[in-house]
Structures are given as structure tokens and as C-alpha cells.
Amino acid sequence: MKAAYVIDGAVQVGEMPDPEPGKGQALVRTHSCGLCASDAHFLHSGQHIIDLSRQFGGPYAALDRSRAFVPGHEYVGEVIDYGTGSARKVKPGRRVTSIPIMRAGGAHAVVGFSHDCPGGCGELMLLDEDFLIEIPDAMDDDMGAMIEPLAVGLEHARRGAPTKEDAALVIGCGAIGLGVIAGLRLMGVAPIIASDYHPDRRAMALRMGADIAVDPREVSPYAPIPSLGNRAITLVYECVGLPGMLQEIVGAVGYRCRIVMGGYCMEADSLYNFAAQNKELTVHFAGGEKPEDMDLALRAIADGRIDVRPWLGARIGLGGVGQAIAEMTSAAAPIRTVVDPRLL
């Protein structure tokens, strides 16, 4: 199959072996795949991520940077066939997405970060049939590829156990932060304050349901906002992933505030427990999406409750993957660039 693959920290385009499905595995032809910031992290810090997984336990421990792997974990594809002995729960010809996890056939891998389970930047994928989710006929491929990144934000949003009495602050308005805002709005939480340095991201936060979006260099996002009734922040979502963010939040919030850490920080950090204990703070560390988050994301996109079409930038072929990943760390980049691996 044709694919854009990563080897030794660089993106190349060429032929890769066609994956062969085992029991419980579906062979899927990819239609669309979103590019995520984690794809860029692997280009710049791949060995560090692998080393952290090997030291502390994690899904990337089996990766070898000197061997090619096909990235892409936000995808939609068409079921072609199954491995022998599979239950064949979705008919061939139907479009599907899934949580990017493979457990069937004794495997345990992250689709798109595995030598055995190529991701959506290749023409063919292997998906665990237990996790397959059919895409409605009326939903186009690119919208279907947004289900997984939206689901991550929805998982983070519910991790903080928000109520309608909360005043929520979302720090960082990339895809995760925007998904958190959409999830909070869906649950009736208000007010929602968004904080980001970049004006385009703040504008996007307002489109996703934030009541106000501030530049933290000009306005403290932690301070009561007169236009929102001077409500004190009771729930904070950190969606940046930089060292020092947790201590900043702990120092700024009030008594019994809840904090959800959703940013993917890969550096050692420090915290004054004294400050957190005196305020009786609760800190949650958010994880990956669950099946219920994928289901909610699909339904919310399909019925129009959450509009993720503004997230979409260019639609590219395999030849554009390297440049798109290199540029995606810029705040001016679209929230998502979508790859069609059938195109060069």
C-alpha cells in the first residue's frame, strides 16, 4: 500500500506492506485522517516519548524510531474484510471509525503508533472489530475524522464532573480545549471562560460555546469577570501541556477548586503541595476517550449540536503530510488538516 510513514524522525512517502488482519481484526481502506499535534511531537521528541513509556509504562514502549510506522489515529475508512474467525460485526462496504486501540488477536497497540497497526496516513488499516463505530451515510468523511479528536475533549470535560453551578476556565484553545468547551456547553455549564494567546483560537473558542475569551497577557483568566457576574472560577481545564502550568493554576485559584490536567506534558514538573492542600484542591489527570465519548461525539456532530467544520483546513494527499505536520505547531495553523491517502 501507499503511505506517508515516519522513520528516524522524518516523514517519507512510499510503499509499505499491506497489513493482514487476524482474528477480531478488520481490514479497512482509509478515506480521511486528521493530523494531530501528537504526530508532530513524535517527529521532534519521539525517542523521549518512547523512553518515558518504557520507564513509566505507556503505549509507545514497543516503537523503534529506526523502523517505519504509519501515523494517523483520527480516521474514517471503509471495511474491506476481516481476519479468519472474526465476528464480522460491520458489513464490508460500510464506513467506520474507532477508538485507535487494537486489542484483538492478543495485540495491544495504538493505531498510528505501532509497527503492526498502521494509521490513517496509509491506504489500509487494521482496526479492532469490537471498537468499530459505523458512520452515518449523511456524514461526510472529513466530519467523521473529527469524531476522535472531539471525543478526547468530551472525555476531558466530563472528567471534572461539571455541574450547572460551576464557572469553568479552559486554558489553551487547540483541538482538546475546543472539545472541552463544546462538551461543557453541551452539559449546560456556564459561564465558560477561554484563555489563549492567539486571537484566531480565541475566536474559535467563542464559536464553540465559550462566553468570553481572554488573552492572559492582558486579562487574568482567574479573576472574577464583571460582565459574567463576578463568578469565581470553580473548575479549570489545563489544555496546554507545559511545565509550570499546574503550579500556576494552584497558586491562582480559590478554595476547593477542581483542576483537570488535559495537556500532554512530557517534562518533569514541580508543585508546592502546601498551596494545594491549604485550598483543598482536587486535581484530575484526564486520559484518552472512551466508547461513550466516541458515541456522543458522533451523535453531536451528526445532529448539529457541535459544529466542528470550522476546525478543518486543507485536504491533502500523502505528499503534503510532512509539510503539514511541520507547520501544525504554529498557532496560525488550522485546528485540523485532513489527509486522503488515496491521493498523492
Number of domains present in the structure of the chain: 2
Percent of the chain with pLDDT over 70: 100
Question: What average pLDDT does range 231-235 have in this prediction?
Answer: 96
Residue 24 and residue 332 in contact, taking contact as beta carbons nearer than 8 Å: no
Q: Give the domain range for residue 103.
A: 2-146+308-339
| 230 vs 73: CA distance, rounded Å | 41
* 19-31 pLDDT per residue, tens: 999 999 999 999 9
All three cell numbers of 226, joined, read 464583571
Given this model, what pLDDT does residue 42 score?
84
Whether residue 24 sits in one domain with residue 92: yes
* 208-222 pLDDT per residue, tens: 999 999 999 999 999
pLDDT band at 108 (very low <50, low <70, confident <90, very high): confident
Given this model, what pLDDT does residue 118 score?
98
Residue 201 has pLDDT above 90, yes or no: yes
Whether residue 115 sits in one domain with residue 96: yes
pLDDT band at 228 (very low <50, low <70, confident <90, very high): confident
- Is 297 a domain residue? no
* 253-306 pLDDT per residue, tens: 999 999 999 998 888 999 999 999 999 999 999 989 999 999 999 999 999 999
- Is 231 a domain residue? yes
Whether residue 117 sits in one domain with residue 48: yes
Whether residue 275 sits in one domain with residue 234: yes
**pTM summary value:** 0.96
Whether residue 119 sits in one domain with residue 7: yes
DSSP 178-200: HHHHHHHHHTT---EEEE-S-HH
Whether residue 107 sits in one domain with residue 158: no
Residue 331 has pLDDT above 80, yes or no: no
pLDDT band at 129 (very low <50, low <70, confident <90, very high): very high
